[in-house]
Structure 1
Amino acid sequence: MDNIESMKDMYTTKELASFLKVSEQTVYSLVKREEIEPVNKEDWTIDGTYFFSTETAERLKQYYTKPGLTNKDVAERLNISLSTAQKLVKAGEIPSFTATYLGRDITFVNEEDLINYEEKHKRERKIPFYDKETQTYMFQSFTHSATGELARIIEISNHDKKVIGITERGTKLHYETLMEQGYQPSYKLDNKKSINKRGFAVFRLLNPAQLNSIVYQLIEKLIYTVGVQNCRINLKEDTIELSVKPIQLPLNQWNDEEIQLLKQSIIKGKIVERHQGILLDSDEVTIHTVIPTELKKQVQLLAKSQNVKIEEFVQQAISNYIDQIKNEDIRS
């Protein structure tokens, strides 16, 4: 009777797999490699399953319990690609630590640190900044035809088809009301070709309080020059991030104050002053190589499994390999 009761307190193969959150095949593999031993190893076929002691289960639980969140966990939590999560962790924007897990040194993130990151960035918004129907864009200026009073577009919503501007007096008006009251776009958008060059030059600017701020003027001028299809805008609590496709700006159309603001605000990419223009460029370059077909298939499968583009996967794989070599050099 005691033996029957003790067997009830043990884990079957299926129960142990569920307890450890692994597959049953993993449990069978552990037994085969003699890393764990079932209590009924000799006659398990009679029982129809292995039985494992509570002590074995608890020991394995410690082994299989992750000491933190992996990069994949972070990516899923933030709803971003794995490569983006890896970049955030590597850059230190999300604090991390290295621990041994399943026999390997792996980078982990504490739950508390990820929560802090989420809190810090919860007000960041990727916004629609162009409305095709009205042909208006975020921060676009409007001028009153009679008084010359300034207004700017401050909200575009694709969800409810809403475009809202604000006047110098602080009055918020829908686009239709702006037009009815005599406001007209200060500049008319020209059709621009899509720029196919890779990457963006990214600028971070303080969100100004005054509608006539040079920051708004600069953003509007860039969008007007480059084209809405070649720009992106993200809003944070007190900053605006403007991403611009690589382009050369005519030097004679930009004054010293504007050029200086561009230089001060760039956070990704580079600015190169040339004889006839100002080059806004990304920091991405193309590397051409040749690989076997079978290797290409493996890369495609791995990229697909991580829900990233092949370019992102290869870039991160190369970066990780370089880091590995650097770490080995440091140890030696």
Structure 2
Amino acid sequence: MYYSIEQICKRLHKNERQIRYMVNQGRLTPVNPDTYRRDGGYRFSQEEIERVEQMLELPGLSVKEAAQELEITPQYLLQFVSNGELESEVKWIGQKKRRYFQKEEIKRFKKFLNEDRQTNRIGEYGRRVKLISREVRIFEECLYDGNESRVVSLEPLKIMTNRGEIIQLGDIDVESASWPEKPYIRQKGYTEFEIPIPRHPQHPVYKILYKLIEDLGDSNIQIYETSFGDYFVRCRLGSIPATNEEYKLLLKYLSNGEITYENGRVHLESNEITKTITIPKDLWQDIEQISENENESIHQTVTKALRNYLN
């Protein structure tokens, strides 16, 4: 007995385009590859269906599934794997290598992440820096033993002395208020910077970061400490007053987006645009399938496909 595409779709819980994609990739072999047009479509043997069913019985969660379960990106997930913090196994599925995670391991790591988020606010880009606490602003200047220092952490409260030492304190004698209230910037897009964390409290990086928070508003900027010793700074699109030297400093560490300098202001701009299109449902399912097979995001899959088509 042979099965048609319609029958195998129901058996494998896939649509027709996905089945044809598997045939084209050599993951599913019909009994009539040369005569399928004359036969009115592909036909598949019982043995072939059982083989594919076993192949599809995956030995755990895929990279995409594990990332969704942990609420992080696949790229950030693989960083934990490379650091030895998350166990996985690589197996051959068909002619490709695939990485899988046991559900128990993901459950364990999710608990670890949740606990770490509560205490350290770790996120997709690294450890998130809190911008204000108990009316103390991050990167604020202060005095310690009569010397100029700077607040570099709020949870716990830490300062950097003029000798570059990091000291944890229970309290600090500064007079400051909340950051000035600024409207939430709804324009889509971000400008991003990756800045090495300075080791002196008077470094100009701290001054420009303070200015970004103060002029954009603390709801329009996120700052993270990465595992590589950098500040990852993500800003919504706006502008701040700045000197030409400050503009050059930001330009040096720009990692995504664009910035321009005009009339004493730095303008933060995005290098991406957002467009809404309508595509067939089965085409979207194909995109999801390719994205999962290639262990990449939907954005990466679509961008790569468009670039290949245009080139």
TM-score over 0.5 (shorter chain): yes
Decide whether aligned partners of structure 1 residues 231 and 322 sit closer, same or farther in structure 2, where only a CA change above 3 A counts.
Answer: closer
Which residue of structure 1 aligns with residue 71 of structure 2?
A: 79
User: CA separation in 2, counterparts of 1:327 and 1:68?
Assistant: 32
- Contact 1:69–1:109 (8 Å) recurs in 2: no
Which residue of structure 2 aligns with residue 142 of structure 1?
A: 142
SS at match of 2:46: coil
User: CA separation in 2, counterparts of 1:191 and 1:123?
Assistant: 27
> Displacement, 1:258?
1.1
User: CA separation in 2, counterparts of 1:165 and 1:77?
Assistant: 36
Within the alignment, does 1:194 sit opposite 2:179 as a pair?
no
Which of 150, 153, 168 pairs up with 2:151? 153
Which residue of structure 1 aligns with residue 292 of structure 2?
A: none
Decide whether aligned partners of structure 1 residues 284 and 218 sit closer, same or farther in structure 2, where only a CA change above 3 A counts.
Answer: same
User: CA separation in 2, counterparts of 1:175 and 1:87?
Assistant: 33
> Displacement, 1:140?
2.5
- Contact 1:247–1:279 (8 Å) recurs in 2: yes
SS at match of 1:280: strand
> Displacement, 1:73?
3.9
SS at match of 2:271: coil
Within the alignment, does 1:248 sit opposite 2:248 as a pair?
no
User: CA separation in 1, counterparts of 2:306 and 2:209?
Assistant: 42
SS at match of 1:228: coil
Pairs within 5 Å for 1:6-85: 25-26=11-12, 34-37=44-47, 59-60=51-52, 63-64=55-56, 70=62, 72-73=64-65, 75-76=67-68, 79-80=71-72, 84-85=73-74
Matched letter for residue 239 of structure 2: Q
Decide whether aligned partners of structure 1 residues 225 and 88 sit closer, same or farther in structure 2, where only a CA change above 3 A counts.
Answer: same
User: CA separation in 1, counterparts of 2:203 and 2:12?
Assistant: 63
Which of 129, 143, 162 pairs up with 1:168? 162
* RMSD between aligned residues: 4.9
Matched letter for residue 74 of structure 2: A
Decide whether aligned partners of structure 1 residues 326 and 127 sit closer, same or farther in structure 2, where only a CA change above 3 A counts.
Answer: closer
Any unmatched runs of 5+ in structure 2?
A: 1-9, 14-27, 29-42, 83-91, 102-121, 290-296
Decide whether aligned partners of structure 1 residues 171 and 191 sit closer, same or farther in structure 2, where only a CA change above 3 A counts.
Answer: same
Within the alignment, does 1:234 sit opposite 2:228 as a pair?
no
Which residue of structure 2 aligns with residue 272 of structure 1?
A: 260
Structure 1 residues 98-128: Cα deviation after superposition (integer angstroms, max 9, x where no partner): xx968xx98x66579xxxxxxxx99963324
Which residue of structure 1 aligns with residue 132 of structure 2?
A: 131
Structure 1 residues 194-217: Cα deviation after superposition (integer angstroms, max 9, x where no partner): 111112211111111111111111
Which residue of structure 1 aligns with residue 86 of structure 2?
A: none
The structure where helix makes up a greater share of residues is: 1
User: CA separation in 1, counterparts of 2:257 and 2:304?
Assistant: 22
Which of 288, 313, 320 pairs up with 2:301? 320
Matched letter for residue 136 of structure 2: T
User: CA separation in 1, counterparts of 2:212 and 2:310?
Assistant: 45
Which residue of structure 2 aligns with residue 49 of structure 1?
A: none
Structure 1 residues 7-50: Cα deviation after superposition (integer angstroms, max 9, x where no partner): xxxxxxxxxxxxxxxxx9549xx9xx652259xxxxxxxxxxxx
Matched letter for residue 167 of structure 2: K
TM-score with structure 1 length normalisation?
0.53
Matched letter for residue 222 of structure 2: R
- Contact 1:71–1:86 (8 Å) recurs in 2: no
- Contact 1:198–1:284 (8 Å) recurs in 2: no
- Contact 1:151–1:211 (8 Å) recurs in 2: yes
User: CA separation in 1, counterparts of 2:214 and 2:185?
Assistant: 14
SS at match of 1:267: strand
With a CA cutoff of 8 Å and minimum separation of 6, indicate the structure with the bigger relative contact order: 2
- Contact 1:142–1:184 (8 Å) recurs in 2: no
- Contact 1:68–1:109 (8 Å) recurs in 2: no
Any unmatched runs of 5+ in structure 1?
A: 1-23, 39-55, 94-99, 113-120, 307-315
Decide whether aligned partners of structure 1 residues 194 and 25 sit closer, same or farther in structure 2, where only a CA change above 3 A counts.
Answer: same
> Displacement, 1:75?
2.4
- Contact 1:165–1:173 (8 Å) recurs in 2: yes
- Contact 1:124–1:236 (8 Å) recurs in 2: yes
Which residue of structure 1 aligns with residue 211 of structure 2?
A: 221
User: CA separation in 2, counterparts of 1:269 and 1:191?
Assistant: 25
User: CA separation in 2, counterparts of 1:172 and 1:127?
Assistant: 19
- Contact 1:189–1:224 (8 Å) recurs in 2: yes
SS at match of 2:234: strand
What number of residue pairs does the alignment pair up? 232
User: CA separation in 2, counterparts of 1:26 and 1:235?
Assistant: 45
